[in-house]
Amino acid sequence: MNNKKFLMVFCVVLFNIPSKAMHHENLLVSPDLENAINAEIRLESSQRDKFRNPKDTLSFFKISPTQTVVELAPGGGWYTEILAPYLKDRGKLIAAHYNPNQGDYYKRSRDNFDAKLASSDIYEKVGVVHLLESYGEEGTADLVLTFRNLHNWIGREDIDNVLRSSYAVLKSGGLFGVVDHRAKPETSLEDMRKSGYMTEAYAIELIEKAGFKFVSSSEVNANPKDTKDHERGVWTLPPSLRLGDQDRDRYLEIGESDRFTLLFQKP
């Protein structure tokens, strides 16, 4: 067979290989966030996707389906609904939630989360630990994530416990991803605690102090409509809407808060 005929035969064979077979290896190693994000279990939660950008956010945090991931203070489990099915088959999800013995608020929050985990076998492999304690054997996690929580811990010893436990559970080279409400530069610590917004610089300072190395930031969760001067702080905006019907349409138009998205690494 001459070279021209060989090339023609090769091309015919190549282009008749089913595309699924050609990309089989890529499918195995590529994160399949689309399926997890578009799952039926998220029909209600997905209404907030336009504000929280889960696909781009988790991609920025370099998540993969074979990782061991710790989610800090998952609240009602908005992100857990994505992480649990995504990691179920080949990875591991650990939810570091509040100890219900800390008080009534924490008990209600934890009870609601536990009820969610019991509602579907999608969550059957999710491990649950207490937020202010160990998250597992040292050096075993690939990624620690927290969404809109850091502001709750500033000015309290909780922040030291959380960052210390996060650092300990991560492997060397493991990543720490943070999303939180972004305050205007130079906002005082008192105003941060009162408003629920914190400065990006202060977040970086706290996390680097715990031993992490800052890697990069993303504007995927930025919202330039947010003026950050609301009567009831960040809770004025959706989904909280603390002012009820007062200026409701205005706050719905703004949407959820302006947020920084930061990635750190354990050396």
* The CATH homologous superfamily of the domain defined by 31-223+259-265: Vaccinia Virus protein VP39 (3.40.50.150)
Tell me what percent of the residues of the chain surpass a pLDDT of 90.
Answer: 87
Strand partners, 216: 263
Chain segment 66-76, per-residue pLDDT in tens: 999 999 999 99
What six digits make up the tokens of 158?
Answer: 């909780």
Pair of tokens at residue 215: 């890697």
State whether the Cα torsion 73-77-81-82 is positive or negative: negative
Tokens 């850091």, located at residue: 150
**What is the average per-residue pLDDT within 139-167?**
96
Percent of the chain with pLDDT over 70: 88
Question: Please, are residues 148 and 180 in contact by the beta-carbon 8 Å criterion?
Answer: yes
pTM for the model stands at 0.87
List Cβ neighbours of 183 (8 Å cut-off, separation of 6 or more).
191, 192, 195, 197, 198, 199, 228
Q: How far apart are CA 155 and CA 169, in angstroms?
A: 23
Residue where the block lists tokens 């436990």: 165
Identity of the residue numbered 263: L
The 10 Å Cβ neighbour count of residue 128 is 15
| DSSP 8-class letter at 264 | E
Q: How far apart are the first and last CA of the chain?
A: 57
Beta bridge partners of 1: none
Per-residue model confidence as pLDDT tens digits over 107-150? 999 999 999 999 999 999 999 999 999 999 999 999 999 999 99
| Residue with the larger pLDDT of the pair 23 and 134 | 134
Per-residue burial over 59-69, b = 16 or more CB atoms within 10 Å of its CB, e = otherwise: ebbebbbebbb
Q: Is the backbone of residue 132 left (phi > 0), alpha (psi -120 to 50) or beta?
A: alpha
d(CA 75, CA 48): 15
Q: Does pLDDT of 13 surpass 70?
A: no
Residue 217: predicted pLDDT: 98
Per-residue pLDDT reduced to its tens digit, 68-102:
999 999 999 999 999 999 999 999 999 999 999 99
User: How much is the average pLDDT of 208-229?
Assistant: 98
Quickly count: other Cβ atoms within 10 Å of residue 159's Cβ: 18
